[in-house]
Structure 1
Amino acid sequence: MTPEDDWTEYAVQDCLTYEQPAKYIVKHTDYSSDSTLTPVLTANKGFILGYTSEQGIYQKGACIIFDDFTLDCKYVPFAFKVKSSAIKILQARKGFDIRFMFEVIKSLSLSPFAHKRHYISEVEPIKILVPSFAKQEKIARLFEALDERLAVEKEYATLLQKQKAYLLRQMFV
């Protein structure tokens, strides 16, 4: 899908608000492996560090967690706690779909150029093209479906790798 005449240019700060994570930071890092508890998140590759039963959970709906130093970000549609104050919690302003905005932020191919906080000075002013809210929702649902399909295909590839390893072991018994 390419931008059309009805797409409007906005700065990222016109589409998203941010919240500092101070009240959602875990006090203890002795995480549990019990996935029925609240996940503790980081925006980098680890994403879920473990689980906690601590209070003070972020539960305002879907958001983006954005690492101010590495510029990594994750879409989060569930309640959570965080480990670091370097994370910004991004929420969509009225008229903007949070999942669509996540895909836009990911498409910017951001990379840090110094060890500093980047979101306010470097990311918020970036100009982006945004369609109507209805089109944002359609695009967001498409990307959700693609992500679900990719997850299924990755699981299938993992199972095939295990089957191949099993067969190879059986050949040389």
Structure 2
Amino acid sequence: MTQNGFLERLLDGVAVSWLPLGQLTSYEQPTKYLVAATNYSDEFKTPVLTAGKTFILGYTDETEGVYKASENSVIIFDDFTTAIKWVDFDFKAKSSAMKMVTSSDEGRVLLKYIFYWLKTLPSELVDGDHKRQWIGNYANKQVPIPCPDDRKKSLEIQAEIVRILDTFTETTAELTAELGAELRARKNQYDYYRDKLLSFEGGEVEWKALGDIGEFIRGRRFTKADYVEEGVSVIHYGEIYTRYGVWSDHAFSKVRSEMADFLRYAEPGDVVLTDVGETVADVGKAVAWLGGGKVAIHDHCYAFRHSMNPKFVSYCMQTQSFIAKKARHVARAKVNTLLINGFSRVEIPVPFPGDPEKSLAEQARIVAILDKFDLLTNAISECLPREIALRQKQYEHYREHLLSFSKSEKAEA
């Protein structure tokens, strides 16, 4: 059956009226439900909601003024950004910018139906616009209501549309959980074998401090004002977070050419690492530079210059034992910073230290094994968001189709 045929069969010839959203819904300000405390903890029971993308700020132990959405589900509407959420659990509110929207008559229109219809509306936000949207704009939006004069039939049609869209939502959530579990399993397997290979239990190996293996060359600072479309290729420390492992030729940022003599560079074979991060784990992330020439580095980066296999060094810096030792040399503050003198004393394994040729061959062998694991893990990492995006597009297609209704049927209430 075609999609249009399905909708026609669902409507079964009934008329569709377009009624103002404000006539079909009621709203409540969050005043009675605002949280007082700021000491949120995962150990507490009640989530604290805010408008916008963050949504759940944390959890509070406050028991008064809790909105009982577990008893009557509600739509959370951000009055400034128009973001909407379906909430069916008890909560406290942090932001006064949200509205709790309910159906004014569940015997006439299902709230979940309204929720799905709201999701079909395109964003009308204008940059810099900071006006409240519900009363002045959204309350006047026209909602398609099938056969409003026959409440029983209307609710049956609404319920069937909700059932179909709920099924798509649940399927997407299940797929996300399944692929996420697969990714975690492969990642754990990869981490296990990487750490096992690089522990060299019973092997001919010497553990040497990084400072005894090579030298750390700190970059020099450039600012946003220095960025240009054509100029000197540079690695900004923020870029390291997006490519944790290895870099070859890459479209990096560029800064003004006249800065060339001022800058410091990473050369092919160096390992580039950052000395700052929001978390301790972020600090000291390492990327092997395998490009065809030198590339400038920011002053929050170091180029570690050495004579070992650069990918081998990078893999060593990803092991759990190395990360634990590195953490001892991070200054904890609002922005965590690597203490390079202490970091240079952290040791990594050097196989067959008395035979440089044999040592490099063993490093290359281990890198080849880990590259295969890394490739597999990254393939799954790329597959996950792509597959979810595909399902999301499929879901949005059916949602738009089920809630579009023919414009020729539109009649003002």
Length-normalised TM-score, structure 2: 0.39
Counting matched residue pairs gives: 172
Provide the C-alpha distance between the structure 2 equivalents of 1:152 and 1:136, rounded to a whole number of angstroms.
24
Contact 2:51 2:95 in 1 (8 A): no
The match for 1:48 among 45, 56, 62 is 56
Residue 17 of structure 1 deviates from its aligned partner by: 0.9
For 1:23-102, what aligned pairs fall within 5 Å after superposition?
Answer: 23-34=32-43, 37-54=45-62, 55-59=64-68, 61-94=72-105, 95-102=108-115
Residue 28 of structure 1 deviates from its aligned partner by: 1.4
Fraction of identical pairs, as percent: 33
- Unaligned stretches of 5+ residues in structure 2: 1-5, 147-153, 194-368, 374-413
Higher relative contact order (CA 8 A, sep 6+): 1
What residue in structure 2 maps to residue 138 of structure 1? 160
Residue 167 of structure 1 deviates from its aligned partner by: 4.8
- Unaligned stretches of 5+ residues in structure 1: none
Length-normalised TM-score, structure 1: 0.89
Q: State which structure, 1 or 2, has the greater radius of gyration over its C-alpha atoms.
A: 2
Aligned-pair RMSD on alpha carbons? Answer: 2.0
Provide the C-alpha distance between the structure 1 equivalents of 2:20 and 2:52, rounded to a whole number of angstroms.
25
| Counterpart residue type for residue 80 of structure 1 | F
What residue in structure 2 maps to residue 120 of structure 1? 135
CA deviations on 1:35-71 (whole Å, 9 max, x unpaired) are 6x11111232222111112110111510100000111
| Counterpart residue type for residue 32 of structure 1 | S
Contact 2:51 2:97 in 1 (8 A): no
What residue in structure 1 maps to residue 29 of structure 2? 20
Contact 2:47 2:60 in 1 (8 A): yes
Provide the C-alpha distance between the structure 2 equivalents of 1:163 and 1:48, rounded to a whole number of angstroms.
27
| Counterpart residue type for residue 43 of structure 1 | A
Residue 11 of structure 1 deviates from its aligned partner by: 0.9
Provide the C-alpha distance between the structure 2 equivalents of 1:43 and 1:130, rounded to a whole number of angstroms.
28
Contact 1:43 1:74 in 2 (8 A): no
Provide the C-alpha distance between the structure 1 equivalents of 2:189 and 2:61, rounded to a whole number of angstroms.
43
